[in-house]
């Protein structure tokens, strides 16, 4: 006899006191029976009515939205975006919080992850606990920085463009995304219908006027004629091969950072915030302090942003090896850095390519791994190379903390850590940790 399915609690409402912020854009609360709720659209210290959006009687925790605010926080503001709120667009987590409060919440998350996963206090990590806004983003409450230079629109069955709802495939149709960069908004993606399309990615380069749209058709659909408010290049994702195909215009955009132009093809990674690339290059270079003649590694190097910055600073007698798994990104990196004889870019996974290089020692390492982090195997290999300084760029504080613990076990300590709010209105935060070998007692 099969057990009866667990009873769904979706729609059940609880009146709760909201506790601390947690990693993922929500806060933690407990019901009077002790059930754990992950509550979105709430702030620490508030009393709210939370409506369950996911979970059953047997679930370890429930997900919920704060649908009524009984006792608001002093940090609460009315969400500037008309599409934000319970059951609406899932793109922004903190529209209901003052900008300064958003950064404090992100700082609390980073601190909690460092303590729980790496056993580090902010002081031990060389961090003052602040999350710094990008240049130009420190705006009054109610104003929203227009920072997102890459926007992935979903398209509903009627051809209307919008954004996904939180943890859902449902489309919230929008007439304007407030966090979209001006170069994206001025295309007018939301002003027309996109029959037969599943999604549209809009890209507005920083430092050039390059604009691009990437269309993903539904099975069997034909591409529409793309007539937007500004000139754009058009690419499409193939139905069978899922590869990117050029329809017209360039198959890349030109980005600008560290006084250099970078070609970025579709599929190649580039920071979304227009100030992010320069902000991170500055933080990494200030932490590494490259010297003439240094040998450096740039791992998960993308189109060569950090490799180019290091190559500029190590001089003709220095050398930089970049490793990147994406084929198109490697092509772009080689193109972008072709005038540096001292730079070599290898394609493949870091954990596969790095051992094959038979490199046994380096002076500097920068790594900017994907959201999952680098992992113990790669960290152990890097620590064995004896670098004077290592710069770790991280978009996920949990993965960063796990890898910092591996580095600690392998003989490296965190010298400094800096956190940047390069994703305003969302829960995401970018960190740069600088590591150095622990000095051994004589």
Write out the catalytic residue numbers.
395
Q: Give the phi and the psi of residue 299 in degrees, each rounded to 5.
A: -100, 140
Q: State the Cα angle at 249 between 248 and 255, rounded to 5°.
A: 145
What is the rounded distance in angstroms from the CA atom of residue 168 to the CA atom of residue 231? 32
Tokens read off for 197: 């399309």
Kind and range of the H or E run holding 298: strand 295-299
Residue indicated by tokens 């300590």:
413
Which residues pair with residue 264 across a beta bridge? 253
The residues with which 56 forms a beta bridge, in sequence order, are: 8
Distance set, CA 314 to CA 283, 307, 329, 343, 416 (Å): 17, 11, 23, 11, 22
Tokens 């010298």, located at residue = 415
Cα atoms found within 13 Å of the Cα of residue 67, Cβ hemisphere only:
15
According to DSSP, residue 174 is labeled -
Q: Where are the beta strands (DSSP E) in 375-423?
A: 389-394, 412-421
């Amino acid at each position: 006899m099969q057990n009866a399915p667990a009873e769904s609690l979706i729609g059940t409402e609880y009146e709760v006191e909201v506790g601390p912020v947690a990693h993922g854009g929500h806060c933690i609360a407990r019901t009077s029976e002790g059930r754990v709720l992950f509550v979105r659209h709430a702030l620490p210290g508030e009393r709210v009515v939370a409506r369950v959006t996911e979970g059953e009687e047997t679930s370890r925790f429930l997900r919920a939205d704060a649908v009524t605010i009984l006792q608001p926080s002093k940090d609460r503001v009315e969400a500037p975006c008309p599409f934000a709120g319970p059951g609406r667009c899932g793109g922004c987590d903190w529209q209901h919080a003052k900008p300064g409060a958003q950064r404090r919440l992100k700082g609390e998350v980073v601190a909690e992850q460092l303590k729980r996963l790496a056993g580090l206090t902010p002081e031990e990590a060389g961090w003052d606990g602040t999350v710094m806004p990008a240049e130009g983003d420190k705006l009054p409450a109610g104003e929203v920085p227009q920072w997102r230079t890459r926007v992935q629109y979903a398209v509903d069955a009627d051809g209307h463009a919008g954004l996904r709802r939180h943890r859902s495939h449902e489309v919230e149709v929008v007439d304007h995304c407030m966090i979209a960069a001006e170069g994206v908004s001025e295309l007018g993606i939301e002003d027309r219908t996109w029959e037969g399309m599943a999604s549209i990615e809009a890209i507005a380069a920083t430092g050039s006027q390059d604009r691009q749209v990437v269309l993903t058709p539904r099975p069997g659909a034909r591409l529409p004629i793309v007539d937007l408010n500004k000139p754009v290049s058009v690419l499409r994702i193939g139905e069978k091969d899922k590869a990117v195909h050029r329809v017209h215009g360039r198959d890349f955009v030109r980005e600008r950072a560290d006084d250099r132009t970078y070609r970025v093809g579709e599929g190649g990674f580039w920071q979304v915030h227009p100030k992010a690339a320069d902000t991170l290059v500055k933080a990494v270079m200030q932490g590494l302090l490259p010297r003439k003649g240094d040998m450096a590694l740039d791992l998960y190097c993308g189109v060569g942003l950090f490799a180019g910055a290091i190559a500029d600073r190590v001089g003709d007698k220095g050398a930089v090896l970049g490793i990147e798994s994406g084929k198109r990104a490697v092509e772009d990196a080689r193109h972008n850095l072709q005038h540096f004889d001292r730079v070599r870019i290898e394609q493949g996974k870091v954990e596969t390519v790095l051992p094959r290089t038979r490199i046994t020692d380096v002076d500097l390492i920068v790594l900017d791994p994907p959201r999952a982090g680098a992992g113990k195997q790669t960290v152990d290999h890097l620590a064995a190379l004896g670098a004077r300084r290592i710069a770790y760029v991280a978009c996920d504080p949990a993965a960063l903390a796990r890898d910092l613990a591996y580095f600690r076990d392998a003989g490296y300590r965190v010298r400094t850590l800096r956190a940047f709010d390069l994703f305003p209105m969302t829960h995401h935060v970018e960190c740069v940790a600088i590591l150095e070998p622990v000095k051994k007692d004589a």
